[in-house]
Amino acid sequence: MTDQPTVSASPSRTQLDALKLERLRGLVQTILPQNAFYAAKLARVPTELPSLDALEDWPFTFKEELVGATAATGVPGNLTWSSDRYVRFHQTSGTRGRPLPVFDTTDDWAWWMACWQSILDRGGVRPGDRVLVASSFGPYAGFWSCFDAVLTRQAMAIPTGGMTTLARLELARTLGATVLVATPSYSLHLAEVACEQKLDLGHLSVRLVIVAGEPGGSIPAVRNRIAEAWGADVLDHAGATEVGPWGVGDLVGSGLDVIEPWFHPEFLSVETGRAAGPGELSELVLTTLGRSGSPVIRYRTGDLVRPRWPACEAIEAGGCPWVRLEGGVVGRTDDMLVVRGVNIFPAAIDEIVRGFPEIVEYRLTVSTRESLDALHLDIEDRLADPGRVAHELQLRLGLRVEVTAVPSGTLPRFEGKARRIVDRRSTTPTDQQPSERQS
């Protein structure tokens, strides 16, 4: 059984690094030579680890490698043990390519539960809480792991797979749900439907909304909108099926902390490709420290972040020593749009548009007109006043955006990861949406 990290203890940075190094050494000793994937990758590097810095000489792991190693047999290529030792199957969403199957052993799943306890601690989830998980689940690990972690916490876990939005709201009311778990987009859609049905969310018992799957929980405009709609605290969380539940926010601000007792983070500068400094835009690289059955070492997540290391004085005063990601995940390496020489991340659009409380939903389309990039924003706007939105976009992005108000209910709603930006500049269709739910 994996031992459990806790956010209540505040070790020094030196103690934390010593713990991580011990766990990394243990992981390497466990998986080599049984794990053929990493035995081959690490064959040409010294596997002794005098310090965490020595990891920088090891090769990166890319998702394309894992997908390629899986393609022939359908069995994940990075398994340490024979497949009969694995008890959990999940897979990635496939919104950025072929879905990747992921297996976990009983011990691996216990590690997932240990990581999740840090998240539940941050939200103050306790025995006796009633946690409604607003998801159809599918094969994705995120909501399944949350569901099982709630059971581990001895709280009530309420599944809602296959239910309509209205049915989920009614279940939250009748059971007195105290915690809601959903994507940021879907938590707002639940609030939208509640408004349409004259259901006052303030009369529900929900005191906490845990959001994941999208950057919204660390975008102030989105976070505030969720908090106001539900009259509840909002807790951001980040994870990936192939990596695990690696990040958690707090109840007072925007941003994520890497759960460092179980993940070693590195940060590659977008500008230089080298180790990033504080606040520098960088790609997050993660190594799992307790998932021996399906490990990833120096995994290029594709998530773009801005790291900040806590000051020694703050740690000595009892603060958390984990590295902080300002603004959470601010984008992805494959999501950034370059429009007329300006870099645009979906999170930036979300922050601006969600700053208008009258806008219910939106979709941004990028196309080419007479060899020039053109931006068009469709909005469901209760004020039917697109001019004010176009002005704000030009002011904050420095780009002219054509904005059109469309009838209510016209645009897609998303239960899973939302894809509100459609880039039609390529000859290869890129505007295919992931699973959408309109209810």
Q: What is the mean pLDDT of residues 48-66?
A: 94
Lowest mean pLDDT among 6-20, 327-341, 403-417: 6-20
| Cα–Cα distance for residue pair 401/75, rounded to 1 Å | 46
What lies within 8 Å, CB to CB, of 253 at 6+ separation is none
User: Please, what sign has the CA dihedral across residues 113, 116, 122, 125?
Assistant: negative
Can you give the residue ranges of every domain in the chain? 1-333, 337-423
For the chain, how long is the longest CA-to-CA vector? 64
DSSP code at position 45? S
Q: What is the Cα 375 distance to its own chain's centre?
A: 27
157-195 burial, b for 16+ CB within 10 Å, e for fewer? bbbbeebebeebbebbbeeebbbbbbbbbbbbbbbbbbe
Band of the pLDDT at 368, cuts 50, 70, 90? confident
Q: Is the pLDDT of residue 436 over 50?
A: no
Lowest mean pLDDT among 100-104, 327-331, 428-432: 428-432
| Cα–Cα distance for residue pair 172/154, rounded to 1 Å | 18
Q: Given 2.170.150.20, 3.30.9.10, 3.30.1540.10, 3.30.300.30, which CATH number is that of 337-423?
A: 3.30.300.30
Q: Are 254 and 219 in contact (CB under 8 A)?
A: yes
| Cα–Cα distance for residue pair 100/68, rounded to 1 Å | 9
Q: What is the mean pLDDT of residues 208-236?
A: 93
Band of the pLDDT at 96, cuts 50, 70, 90? low
User: Strands (DSSP E) along 70-155, which ranges?
Assistant: 86-91, 101-105, 130-133
Strand, helix or coil for residue 425: coil
| Cα–Cα distance for residue pair 374/368, rounded to 1 Å | 6
Q: Are 321 and 344 in contact (CB under 8 A)?
A: no
Q: Is the pLDDT of residue 221 over 80?
A: yes
Higher pLDDT, 138 or 437: 138
Q: Which of 158, 165, 162, 233 is nearest to 199 (CA)?
A: 165
Query: Rounded mean pLDDT of the chain?
Result: 89
Ramachandran category for residue 258: left, alpha or beta (phi over 0 → left; psi -120 to 50 → alpha): beta
Does CATH number 3.40.190.10 belong to domain 1-333?
no
Higher pLDDT, 320 or 180: 180
pLDDT digits (tens, 9 = 90+) for 114-170: 999 999 999 999 999 999 999 988 888 989 999 999 999 999 999 999 899 999 999
Higher pLDDT, 417 or 364: 364
Q: What is the pLDDT of residue 439?
A: 30
